[in-house]
Structure 1
């Protein structure tokens, strides 16, 4: 998600995000991973709509994400 098959970035739609999240147990917590070189773990904050887009707010940094996160996101 977020890239097409040739590696170029593409916009992610609400439908794309919903489809991706359906693979997981709905009771699981959600975190944001940021900074590929040293992945940090952030909570999800408020979600809103503005300027024709849906915005997911950062709920705050918890610390560094486990090494496995960068591996599974293809950052390593």
Structure 2
């Protein structure tokens, strides 16, 4: 997700996100990881459309994400 077939980075679309999330049970919680060097864990808040894009809001910061998150996201 997030890569063009030739390997160039591209923006993730709503369809990409839906396809990726379909692999997981519907009752699993979702977190947002930010900052690849020291990943922070955020809970997901509201979802809205503005300026021709879908925005996913942060509800709150929970602390640091486990090391496994960085590895699975390809940050390490």
Give the alignment's TM-score, normalised by structure 1: 0.92
Distance 1:46 1:2 in 2: 22
Cα offset, 1:12, TM superposition: 1.2
Question: CA deviation digits over 1:8-62, x for unaligned, max 9?
Answer: 2212111110000000011100000000001110000110001111100111110
Distance 2:15 2:63 in 1: 30
Question: Structure 1 residue runs of 4+, over 6 Å off?
Answer: none
Unaligned stretches of 5+ residues in structure 2: none
Q: How many residues align?
A: 76
Give the alignment's TM-score, normalised by structure 2: 0.92
1:60 corresponds to: 60
CA-based RMSD: 1.1
